[in-house]
Amino acid sequence: MTTFRDLHIKGQPFVLANIWDRGSALMMEGLGAKALATSSAAHAFTLGRPDGGTVSRDEALAHASEILSVTKLPVQGDFENGFGDDPETCAATVRLAAEVGLAGICIEDMMFPSVEAYDFDLAVERIRAACAAARALPSDFVLTARADGVMTGRYDTNEALRRLLAFEAVGADCLYAPVLLDMAAVARICAATSAPVNVLVAGPFAQIAQADFAHAGVARLSLGSSLARVTHAAIRDAASGILGAGDFTALSVAMSGDEVDALLNRQ
């Protein structure tokens, strides 16, 4: 049986499909996804909240449990900064995530609700504690360590790589620096690290082919909140015409109810 860990092969990236409810999970499974992940932003949107530390750990765990109740695919939890500043909170979050059945989680090096980065030493200790908790579990658990400072403008690629190398050294199973500047930075990080690297397909990277990510050495391609925001864009565009000009033509491209039912009735 192929495990979540087995999917992570440098130079052979698989798509980690980020979903936001049971229906989207079933659709992605029906369309051929190999693994799923929650998205903290997409989950927040379903609650009518903005992204960035607005979802509690209890809410994230309950949300993950709902997703796991309808799919047989491995699911990773997007658990932001581990829901606390100190290393032991990160370790506890790992244990709780495993208890609900998640195949892994990712932990960021950003403080919430601010976007300031944790001090380097504390960032590493947080990942060290999370990895130790993961290794102590009775089941396999993939811990993804994130260096988010390039995305938030708090540090450059050099610092992101410094942090990722340190995260790898303390046991991180997968490395992730979202929204790098370009593919040269992606290739540099993949070449400098041994652990599999995740790349967020968003913004300019949505124009890059999967084969090009493979050539750079990427192991995993996540969608973040992009797919959810595509859905929100469709709602905005259709509703703007309906509520603004009374134009209903956007509804003509809707999937049929039978198509939706066929994707959802797979349990």
Amino acid at 252: S
Does residue 261 lie in a domain region?
no
Does residue 237 lie in a domain region?
no
Q: What is the DSSP string of 221-252?
A: EE-TTHHHHHHHHHHHHHHHHHHHH---GGGG
Looking up residue 68, the CATH number of its domain turns out to be: 3.20.20.60
**pLDDT above 90 (res 10):** yes
- Which structural domain, as residue segments, surrounds residue 52? 5-226
**pLDDT above 60 (res 145):** yes
Does residue 265 lie in a domain region?
no
Does residue 259 lie in a domain region?
no
Helix axes 87-100, 120-135, angle to 10 degrees: 30
- Render pLDDT for 97-139 as a digit per residue (tens, 0 to 9): 999 999 999 999 999 888 899 999 999 999 999 999 999 999 9
Does residue 63 lie in a domain region?
yes
Q: Residue 260 region, left (φ>0) first, then alpha (ψ -120 to 50), else beta?
A: alpha
Residues 6+ apart with CB under 8 A from 74: 3, 4, 7, 35, 36, 103, 104
- Render pLDDT for 39-74 as a digit per residue (tens, 0 to 9): 999 999 999 999 888 999 999 999 999 999 999 999
Does residue 251 lie in a domain region?
no
The mean per-residue pLDDT over the stretch 87-92 comes to 98
Does residue 96 lie in a domain region?
yes
The mean per-residue pLDDT over the stretch 173-200 comes to 98
- Render pLDDT for 238-266 as a digit per residue (tens, 0 to 9): 999 999 999 999 999 999 999 999 988 86
Which phi and psi (to 5°) does residue 133 adopt?
-65, -40
Q: Which residues pair with 16 in a beta bridge?
A: 35, 222
pLDDT score of 265:
83
Other beta carbons within 10 Å of 49? 14
Residues 243, 254: contact at Cβ < 8 Å? no
- Render pLDDT for 191-226 as a digit per residue (tens, 0 to 9): 999 999 999 999 999 999 999 999 999 999 999 999
pLDDT score of 5:
98
- Render pLDDT for 223-242 as a digit per residue (tens, 0 to 9): 999 999 999 999 999 999 99
Residues 38, 78: contact at Cβ < 8 Å? yes
pLDDT score of 149:
97
pLDDT score of 2:
84
Among 1, 35, 37, 32, which Cα is nearest to 18's? 37
Predicted TM-score (pTM) of the model is: 0.95
Does residue 47 lie in a domain region?
yes
- At 38, which helix (H) or strand (E)? strand 35-38
Among 167, 98, 100, 165, which Cα is nearest to 135's? 98
Say how many domains are in the chain. Answer: 1
